[in-house]
């Protein structure tokens, strides 16, 4: 049965970041994920995890200057050292917090020619996966829709699978974001069924406004049931922007949190 994790970068934002851990636990979540936790003292996060009994299941590798529209470093020739430093930083934190999966955003592809960008990407992902394997950690790659992330290297599931095949390491998997993939390609149920064995983590939000299930064009409750029938028992990150308060947005989740 799929298990829900609260994305604390988007949920419970009514309170300061460190206070969101307790709110997630009180709402019934057993796990949390975070986008970029690097500005918060590691010991403070460890303290909140211990106090609430929550498991942190995912966060992103450093992704460059987000405010300047950078969306990852993995495909950027000339920034390999920065990427590798970020891998080490993230792996150290993952060990400190007991996180077993890290998401690697690939970046906005520069206009330097497909070959050099692709070679840089494969080399960087190989390095990240090999370094993570020594610590028992899985690296994920995530397609993002090109409407909101123009120029991002990866937008479709089949492209991601080709990258996984090129790297050829068992601890490199796909992060399947229902919101991004509905915008990019649709056909969610059959895609999940086809590639389930290659998926390490799933995230949900409802298009077109990236809001909670029940507010848009995808029947996410049905999709969670489909994942259950397929035998998926991994984590599903609730990475949506609530319409109303976070607690008001969780009515759909009661059965899954129970």
Residue 239 annotated to the active site: yes
Per annotation, catalytic residue among 70, 82, 239, 248: 239
Beta carbons within 8 Å of 51's beta carbon, 6+ residues apart: 21, 22
Q: State both tokens at 21.
A: 């851990």
Per-residue pLDDT of the chain (258 residues; tens, 9 = 90+): 899 999 999 999 999 999 999 999 999 999 999 999 999 999 999 999 999 999 999 999 999 998 888 899 999 999 999 999 999 999 999 999 999 999 999 999 887 666 699 999 999 999 999 999 999 999 999 999 999 999 999 999 999 999 999 999 999 999 999 999 999 999 999 999 999 999 999 999 999 999 999 999 999 999 999 999 999 999 999 999 999 999 999 999 998 997
Q: At what angle do helices 188-195 and 157-167 cross, to 10 degrees?
A: 10
101/104 Cα distance (integer angstroms): 10
**Cβ-contact 62, 93 below 8 angstroms:** no
pTM comes to 0.95
Beta carbons within 8 Å of 166's beta carbon, 6+ residues apart: 122
60/198 Cα distance (integer angstroms): 19
Burial class (CB within 10 angstroms; exposed 0-12, middle 13-18, buried 19+) of 189: middle
Burial class (CB within 10 angstroms; exposed 0-12, middle 13-18, buried 19+) of 97: middle
Per annotation, catalytic residue among 142, 148, 185, 217: 142
Residue 119 annotated to the active site: no
**Cβ-contact 96, 46 below 8 angstroms:** yes
Residue 43 neighbours by CB distance under 10 Å: 9
């Amino acid at each position: 049965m799929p298990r829900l994790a609260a994305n604390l970068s988007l949920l419970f934002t009514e309170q300061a970041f460190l206070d969101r851990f307790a709110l997630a636990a009180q709402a019934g979540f057993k796990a949390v994920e975070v986008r970029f936790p690097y500005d918060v003292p590691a010991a403070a996060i460890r303290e909140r995890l211990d106090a609430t009994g929550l498991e942190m299941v995912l966060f992103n590798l450093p992704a460059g200057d987000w405010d300047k529209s950078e969306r990852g470093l993995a495909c950027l020739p000339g920034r390999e050292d920065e990427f590798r430093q970020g891998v080490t930083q993230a792996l150290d934190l993952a060990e400190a917090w007991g996180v077993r999966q890290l998401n690697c955003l690939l970046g906005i592809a520069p206009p330097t020619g497909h070959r050099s960008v692709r070679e840089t990407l494969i080399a960087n992902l190989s390095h990240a996966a090999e370094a993570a394997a020594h610590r028992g950690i899985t690296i994920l790659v995530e397609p993002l829709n090109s409407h909101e992330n123009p120029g991002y290297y990866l937008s479709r599931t089949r492209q991601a699978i080709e990258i996984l095949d090129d790297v050829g390491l068992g601890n490199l998997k796909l992060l399947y974001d229902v919101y991004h993939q509905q915008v990019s390609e649709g056909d969610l149920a059959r895609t999940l069924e086809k590639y389930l064995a290659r998926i390490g983590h799933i995230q949900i939000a409802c298009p077109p406004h990236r809001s909670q299930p029940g507010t848009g064009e995808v029947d996410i409750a049905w999709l969670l049931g489909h994942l259950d029938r397929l035998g998926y028992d991994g984590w599903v990150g609730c990475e949506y922007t609530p319409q109303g308060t976070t607690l008001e947005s969780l009515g759909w989740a009661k059965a899954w949190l129970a």
